[in-house]
Amino acid sequence: MSSRTDGGAGRLSQMIQENRTRVTVLAVLLFLFLAAFGGLDREDWFSTIMQGLSVGAITFLVASGLSLIFGLMDVLNLAHGEIFMLGAYFGWTIYTRFDTALDIVIPLLLLAAPFLLMPIWRTMASRVGTTAAVHRAIGWVLLLGGGLVTWLSITRFPLVIWDAKEFAFSPGSYSTQVDLGVLAPLGADSFNGAAVVAVIGLLFGGVILALAVSFFQRTPAEAAVSPRRMGAAAGLVLLAIVLHLTKGSINDWVFGLSTSWRFFLAMAIAVAMGAAVGAFIEVLLIRPLYDRPIYQLMLTLGVGFILIEVVREVWGRPEFTMARPALFNGTGEGCPGQGIGGFFSGCSTVDMFGARLRVYNEGFVFLVGILVLIGVTLLLKRTRIGMIIRAGVQDPDMVEALGINVRRVFTLVFALGSSLAALGGVLAAPSIGLSTGMGALFLLSALIALAIGGLTSFPGAAAGAVLVGLLQQLIIRFGQNGIDLPFLAEPFKPTPTLVPAASVLLMVIVLLLLPAGLFGRSER
């Protein structure tokens, strides 16, 4: 027993010795945070900690996706913040204007159906025996033509949507109606002859766009399309028709749900949307550039700007809020809730240790962040798909030899990372509102958190996000209360501009001492 104890103590001593710099940095950071919180009243320090953990949870959802994609695939996706933003706007649309979301899905299904028949278009493109330059030229012509046909068709499709330029029909006005409980489906446009032409035009536009992609890829001729792919393509078209015929009943059912159930539905659909957008970006844009990292950065940066302009065109430029679901917005008798049980009372706020906390921000958002951390860690460490992902990154040739499609695994990783960003967006919408700048703001915080925690470390992303969230909330709190500093007659009150500056300063200090971050693997 004694030798076993001595051996355990020896291993612990060796681990501390090998990581003495890391342990020292963590100890100093902990001391500084405790000293900073010591300058606050009990109510202030507890609420500041919980607010910091809430901000850290949202930052973690963005940083975790970046960490997965970069750590496993060595791809830095600069459009990740805009996917976070897109998740917020899509979540708002499902939650507030489900009828519009359903109307948008129908043409998208028609447009996506031809892409399931890619082997046909690749075979057609491969039979055009010309040079690579001519193939690219044909691809650009088809891309422009398909884009024009698709635009002309989708603008003639019967769509009920808000009008950002008219206040009564703007997104902000509809959010207020949700809060008041008076929201109802918009009147649907009639499906006339022009709409039938629009359906045919969308299918034709999808075929042209899919063919254009085939010319850009320039792959060998493929075997005939499998019956499963043919059935899936036909199924998308049939689903679009069925949704259009039954959308009135579907809208009535969804708008009859409570705001809480509608919010969870928005979360689920926003996550699925984020995964689809991530898979689309990886397959069509990133996959041909795996050996050209600079082009990856330029391309994803451009995609981010495109997504911002799309959001401005569809939802408008003004900022607006997303109403909180009733589950986290209760008032009246019995509110605020008391203690830990108050988080489950249905009240919007809870009194805990003398501090007033918001159930949604400091309770639900933080809980989701914890669940994501546990879930993704278990996925990567304890499941077969996690083992395949890690093996595919370390030795893709061996995994391919075992009959596993590594390209599909990489697409899955990219989709998972993007879905986490979209989840962060829909969670952030009720707490911070929606704006076209929210993606860039949280991308910066996520990159700082990754650098602090370690670019390739998933737990490091969580630690860095928590540190960034706590530091930002400390600066905000001291901006209200002030800091007593020596040689100053009055307390020093940091301005809001010091919030990002303080995060950058923390990152610089950590990287000077630990170039690989707190939990990153140093290159030797």
Residue pLDDT, tens place only, 244-253: 888 888 888 8
Q: Give the tokens for residue 116.
A: 């399931």
pLDDT digits 0-9 by tens, 293-336? 888 888 889 999 999 999 998 898 888 889 888 888 878 777 88
pLDDT for the residue numbered 80: 92
Nearest-angstrom CA–CA distance, 484 and 474: 14
pLDDT for the residue numbered 161: 81
Q: How far is CA 434 from CA 63, 78, 84, 93, in A?
A: 19, 20, 11, 11
Start-to-end CA span in the chain (Å): 37
486 upstream amide cis, omega within 30 of 0: no
- In terms of C-beta density within 10 A (0-12 exposed, 13-18 middle, 19 or more buried), how is residue 523 classed? exposed
Nearest-angstrom CA–CA distance, 469 and 489: 30
pLDDT for the residue numbered 265: 93
Q: What is the DSSP letter of 362?
A: I
What contacts 327, CB < 8 A, 6 or more positions away? 259, 260, 263, 346
Question: What is the pairing mode between strands 337-338 and 355-358?
Answer: unpaired
pLDDT under 70 in the chain at which residues?
Answer: 1-23, 28, 31-40, 42, 129, 187-194, 217-225, 392-397, 399, 481-492, 521-524
Question: Which among 365, 390, 364, 393 is positioned nearest to 376, based on CA atoms?
Answer: 390
Q: Give the tokens for residue 524.
A: 């030797």
pLDDT for the residue numbered 524: 46
Give the type of residue at 401. A
pLDDT for the residue numbered 406: 74
pLDDT for the residue numbered 477: 79
- The b/e string for 210-225 (b: 16+ C-beta within 10 A; e otherwise) is bbbbbbbbeeeeeeee
Decide if 81 contacts 443 (C-beta within 8 A). Answer: yes
Q: What is the DSSP letter of 330?
A: B
Nearest-angstrom CA–CA distance, 504 and 466: 14
Nearest-angstrom CA–CA distance, 446 and 452: 10
Q: What count of residues does the chain have?
A: 524
Decide if 126 contacts 221 (C-beta within 8 A). Answer: yes
Q: Look up tokens 């939990």; give the residue.
A: 519
Nearest-angstrom CA–CA distance, 275 and 271: 6
- pTM, whole model, 2 decimals? 0.85
Q: Look up tokens 């906390």; give the residue.
A: 357
Q: What is the DSSP letter of 96?
A: H
Nearest-angstrom CA–CA distance, 186 and 101: 12
Q: Which residues pair with 229 in a beta bridge?
A: none
pLDDT for the residue numbered 21: 65
